[in-house]
Amino acid sequence: MNINSISSTIFFSLLIFVTFGQQKQDKAKYVKYSNKFYNEIKKGISEFNSRDKEPRTSFKMDYSNYEIPKSKEEFTTVWCNDPISQGSTGTCWSFSTSSYFEAEVFRLTKKEVKLSELYIVYWEYIEKAKYFVQTRGNSEFPEGSEANAVSRMMKKYGAMPWGVFNGLDDGQVFHDHSKLFNEMTAYLSTVKRDNNWNEEVTIGTIKSILNHHIGTPPSSFKVNEKEMTPKQYLSDELNLNMDDYVNFMSLLEAPFYTKAEYDVPDNWWNSADYNNIPLSDFIEILKSAVKKGYSIAIGGDVSETGYSAANDVAMIPTYDIPSAYINDEARQMRFTNGSTTDDHAIHIVGYKESKEGFWFLIKDSGSGARNGKNEGYYFYHEDFVKLKTMNFTIHKDAVSAILKKIK
């Protein structure tokens, strides 16, 4: 390299150094994304698509010929906590039965407690995942379950106060399990697809998903300054014995006065602990028990034209079936053809007798129960319960006579 080339190189290097050395040093920062015009586009599209749309209508019973209950204050009630919402989840079975056991604690001990519904949901999902692996994917993995799943989970895992574990994130008002459930089912589908039946790995992954979305239940907690486990809380603080609770159904699919399986998808573990009894016994137990101060966890169908969220009322209209014709066959026909489904779990907490018949006060965690004047409650006529309620859980002391008939 000659002297001219070296001089040129030095000159241009100095020129670049001086030029860039004098430039301002740019920086960057995170800012909130904003596209106001695009938001206007979306708003305009939404307004256009919703133009002139008539409100959705549904075919419902006319109650004007009846003196239906107007307020829960008209009912004789048992103690229960105020209704709370299950949010956007399929966990009515846990909310209703947890409410039931809260009422049982008060009936037996006079203690007012608020139990964690999501603690039970957490372990129920774990058990469902275990069974999914054990059956090599040939089992149900629904959001739903049955009332006796709660007693089953409590017996195995204990119970927990709501204040210790509630499954809600900071600032979250309502439960939403859509992402949680979709993530678990997507994972289990890959387990089945890949034939990867390692139970430890599968349960570990399901736990991590649950922990992320609803939190991790603590292994111990303090109650009245005393450290205890969930099982100790169940036995020592709640004084509940899960063996004291029994389940009933009324279907022609199995002989009466025998134990049978309740054959629905939400009975995913194929429980055959249901005492199958005639409808006449079924409805009489419910009526006599609530009049004696017992509450009852029940499950059944809530999709009839006589079911009105706006009026807080559930009845069976005569154009469906007259009251005198509601019998075992009518129930079985509707269950068999699918017009009666096992789609909701609720809690009987009171009763009223009037010229229109016997009414049950129903505590309900579903969203439909928040559309009338009595938020969280429905008034079920006895005919609706006779035709559409499919099962219930109750303390054995309330049904000692009928249990003697079970073979």
Residues 94-108 pLDDT 10s:
999 999 999 999 999
pLDDT, mean of residues 332-353 = 97
Q: How many CB atoms lie within 10 A of CB 313?
A: 23
Q: Are 316 and 383 in contact (CB under 8 A)?
A: yes
Q: Which residues pair with 280 in a beta bridge?
A: none
CA 173 centroid distance within chain: 16
Q: Which residue has the tokens 């994304």?
A: 33
Looking at residue 369, what is its pLDDT? 93
What mean pLDDT is reported for the chain? 93
What ranges make up the beta strands (E) of 269-343? 274-276, 296-300, 307-308, 313-314
How many Å apart are CA 319 and CA 311, to the nearest integer? Answer: 19
- pLDDT-above-90 percentage for the chain: 85
Confidence check: pLDDT of 2 > 70? no
pLDDT, mean of residues 204-226 = 97
Q: Which residue has the tokens 């992954």?
A: 205
DSSP codes joined into one string, 290-309: HHTT--EEEEE---STTEET
* H or E segment and range at residue 359: strand 357-363
pLDDT, mean of residues 362-375 = 94
Residues 99-151 pLDDT 10s:
999 999 999 999 999 999 999 999 999 999 999 999 999 999 999 999 999 99
Cβ-based neighbours of 261, under 8 Å, separated by 6 or more: 254, 267, 270, 271, 272, 274
pLDDT, mean of residues 43-53 = 80
How many Å apart are CA 360 and CA 302, to the nearest integer? Answer: 14
Looking at residue 1, what is its pLDDT? 55
Q: How far is CA 154 from CA 42, 111, 346, in A?
A: 48, 18, 18
- The fold adopted by the segment(s) 72-403 is Cathepsin B; Chain A (3.90.70)
- pLDDT-above-70 percentage for the chain: 94
Confidence check: pLDDT of 166 > 90? yes
Residues 54-94 pLDDT 10s:
777 889 999 999 999 999 999 999 999 999 999 999 999 99
Q: How far is CA 365 from CA 2, 82, 218, 238, 373, in A?
A: 90, 10, 25, 22, 15
Phi–psi pair at 336, nearest 5 degrees? -70, -40
Residues 252-294 pLDDT 10s:
999 999 999 999 999 999 999 999 999 999 999 999 999 999 9
pTM score of the predicted model: 0.88
